[in-house]
């Protein structure tokens, strides 16, 4: 289809970073609605930025001929959430090779194992704790223990609390300003330093680790040129396994909010795997998790009449695409049934990013996320005697990520 040349709708003003902090997950949606456009230009962190929303925009965004990821994210994100030199910021052969390493860890056997570990760790946690459980806090510890066991990172039993308390600021506080942001940076520095020491010990044979575990594979992984990764990069990539597993605590908190707010749907989810799967997918679509993905324009190009200029920072609205009325019937209603007919399009349902799994930039841990949510939902719905006390969960859409703070009472 031919599109005549047109200017990208442009938001006036020197910078809109403060509005992003105030509006949170609605930032791109608000501008898309205001300008009635799937592409809007604004200014963030002092630079020109394109904002995209919707399925077609997602297909464009993940076209590696048009966008690149290498150092695309602002330094504040690299210093907290992502780390410097990790797989999310790579392109081309380097990205394909590193991504293949991650995908090789997601075998059916290893995903089955992590489900067993999660169940064991929930059982262990509930046996050791009194009646009231704060879901998010409990989940962080359960998932930190799970992540350490599954990856094979050398750690002592009593270290799990410390790991949980240092891993959670990487995603809880990365978008904050002031002391919380500094805590997020400091946590990353400490964890990378700790992991680098372990990498060096394994490589000089002074520390023995299980050879079938992810930690061993990443330590001895060779890049596309046959070279071992720098110990710092290994530390970053190990954190790219540990951090997202612990971050699933946000989704687990939302699962209990959904059970609380939609009891009929939760009752249906008791019936079987497919019903639970649809419930989980709707939790991931309906509630906020990642606000947007970040890339930069590789070279000048034209799309739908709009000119995209080289090196411009570009955000794809993940939350907004998951609530796009052009893609979803009644997008602001919680309806797991909608996933009976979903065809698995890699660009319309993008809670953790879009694109293809193996070669694209779609989150390698998405299967793992769904499995952990599935086993947790099944465990609590069908194997744990608990009740939800009356509560008014309060989460704000300008908190990234928002934490509903659900509580449950365990009946021993």
The annotated binding site for heme is made up of 363
pLDDT the model gives residue 359 = 44
Would 6 be classed as within a structural domain?
no
What's the pLDDT band for 231 if we cut at 50, 70, 90? very high
pLDDT the model gives residue 179 = 66
pLDDT the model gives residue 344 = 84
| SS3 (DSSP) at 51 | strand
Tell me which of 73-87, 153-167, 315-329, 342-356 is least confident. Answer: 73-87
Cβ(198)–Cβ(153) below 8 Å:
yes
pLDDT the model gives residue 358 = 47
Distance (Å, whole) CA 347 – CA 366: 14
**Which residues, 6 or more positions from 370, have their beta carbon under 8 angstroms from its beta carbon?**
277, 280, 281, 284
Burial degree of 15 (CB within 10 A; 0-12, 13-18, 19+): middle
Tell me which of 106-115, 247-256, 262-271, 382-391 is least confident. Answer: 106-115
**Closest by Cα among 373, 118, 147 to 256:** 373
| Widest CA span in the chain | 68
Would 4 be classed as within a structural domain?
no
pLDDT the model gives residue 357 = 46
Distance (Å, whole) CA 351 – CA 286: 9
In the predicted model, what is the mean pLDDT of residues 245-253?
A: 97
In the predicted model, what is the mean pLDDT of residues 375-400?
A: 93
| Per-range mean pLDDT, top range of 45-59, 78-92, 217-231 | 45-59
Would 7 be classed as within a structural domain?
no
Statement: residue 284 has pLDDT above 70: yes
What's the pLDDT band for 85 if we cut at 50, 70, 90? low
Would 2 be classed as within a structural domain?
no
Number of domains in the chain: 1
Statement: residue 349 has pLDDT above 70: yes
What's the pLDDT band for 30 if we cut at 50, 70, 90? very high
Burial degree of 77 (CB within 10 A; 0-12, 13-18, 19+): middle
Statement: residue 269 has pLDDT above 50: yes
**Which residues, 6 or more positions from 95, have their beta carbon under 8 angstroms from its beta carbon?**
69, 87, 361
Would 12 be classed as within a structural domain?
no
Percent of the chain with pLDDT over 90: 70
**Which residues, 6 or more positions from 333, have their beta carbon under 8 angstroms from its beta carbon?**
none
Cβ(115)–Cβ(379) below 8 Å:
no
Model confidence pLDDT, tens digit, residues 164-211: 999 998 888 656 556 666 787 888 899 999 999 999 999 999 999 999
In the predicted model, what is the mean pLDDT of residues 319-334?
A: 97
pLDDT the model gives residue 322 = 97
What's the pLDDT band for 356 if we cut at 50, 70, 90? low
Statement: residue 268 has pLDDT above 90: yes
DSSP 174-235: TT--THHHHHHHHHHHHHHHHHHHHHHHHHTTSS---TTSHHHHHHT-B-TTSPBPPHHHHH
Distance (Å, whole) CA 264 – CA 62: 37
Would 268 be classed as within a structural domain?
yes
| SS3 (DSSP) at 295 | strand
Indicate which CATH number applies to the domain containing 346.
1.10.630.10
Percent of the chain with pLDDT over 70: 88
Phi, psi of 232 (to 5 degrees): -65, -40
pLDDT the model gives residue 242 = 95
User: Looking at the DSSP assignment, which residues form a beta bridge with residue 313?
Assistant: 49, 296
Would 8 be classed as within a structural domain?
no
In the predicted model, what is the mean pLDDT of residues 284-298?
A: 94
CB count within 10 Å of CB 401 equals: 22
Statement: residue 83 has pLDDT above 70: no
Model confidence pLDDT, tens digit, residues 100-159: 777 778 888 988 999 999 999 999 999 998 789 999 999 999 999 999 999 999 998 889
The annotated binding site is made up of 363
In 230-327 the beta strands, taken as DSSP E runs, fall at 292-297, 301-303, 306-308, 313-317
**Closest by Cα among 282, 317, 229 to 50:** 317
Would 241 be classed as within a structural domain?
yes
| SS3 (DSSP) at 54 | coil
pLDDT the model gives residue 106 = 80
Which residue range is the domain that position 170 belongs to? 17-410
pLDDT the model gives residue 173 = 62
pLDDT the model gives residue 265 = 98
pLDDT the model gives residue 273 = 94
Distance (Å, whole) CA 121 – CA 269: 22
Statement: residue 80 has pLDDT above 80: no
Distance (Å, whole) CA 285 – CA 279: 10
What's the pLDDT band for 16 if we cut at 50, 70, 90? very high
């Amino acid at each position: 289809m031919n599109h005549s040349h047109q200017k990208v709708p442009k938001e006036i003003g020197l910078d809109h970073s403060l509005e992003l902090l105030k509006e949170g997950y609605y930032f791109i949606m608000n501008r898309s609605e205001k300008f009635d456009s799937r592409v809007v230009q604004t200014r963030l962190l002092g630079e020109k930025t394109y904002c995209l929303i919707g399925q077609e925009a997602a297909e464009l965004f993940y076209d590696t001929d048009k966008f690149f990821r290498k150092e695309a994210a602002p330094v504040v994100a690299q210093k907290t959430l992502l780390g410097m030199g990790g797989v999310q910021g790579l392109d081309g052969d380097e990205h394909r090779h590193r991504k293949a390493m991650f995908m090789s860890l997601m075998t059916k056997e290893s995903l089955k194992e992590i489900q067993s570990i999660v169940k064991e760790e929930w059982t262990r946690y509930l046996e050791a704790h009194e009646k009231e459980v704060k879901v998010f806090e409990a989940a962080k510890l359960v998932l930190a223990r799970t992540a350490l066991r599954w990856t094979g990172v050398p750690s002592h039993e009593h270290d799990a609390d410390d790991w949980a308390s240092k891993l959670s600021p990487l995603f809880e506080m990365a978008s904050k300003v002031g002391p919380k942001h500094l805590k997020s940076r400091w946590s990353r520095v400490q964890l990378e330093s700790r992991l680098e020491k372990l990498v060096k010990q394994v490589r000089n044979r002074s520390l023995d680790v299980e050879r079938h575990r992810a930690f061993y594979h990443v330590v001895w992984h060779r890049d596309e040129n046959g070279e071992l990764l720098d110990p710092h990069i290994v530390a970053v990539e190990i954190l790219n396994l540990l951090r997202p597993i612990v971050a699933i605590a946000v989704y687990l908190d939302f699962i209990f909010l959904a059970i609380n707010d939609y009891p009929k749907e939760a009752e249906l989810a008791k019936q079987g795997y497919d019903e639970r799967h649809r419930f989980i997918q709707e939790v991931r679509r309906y509630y906020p998790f990642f606000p947007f993905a970040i890339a930069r324009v590789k070279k000048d190009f034209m799309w739908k009449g709009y000119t995209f200029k080289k090196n411009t920072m570009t955000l794809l609205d993940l939350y907004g695409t998951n609530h796009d009325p052009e893609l979803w019937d009644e997008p602001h209603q919680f309806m797991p049934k909608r996933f009976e007919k979903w065809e698995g399009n890699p660009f319309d349902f993008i809670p953790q990013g879009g694109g293809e799994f193996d070669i694209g930039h779609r989150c390698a841990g998405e299967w793992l996320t769904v499995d952990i949510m599935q086993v947790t939902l099944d465990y609590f719905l069908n194997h744990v005697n608990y009740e939800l006390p009356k509560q008014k969960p309060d989460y704000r859409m300008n908190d990234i990520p928002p934490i509903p703070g659900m509580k449950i009472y365990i009946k021993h």
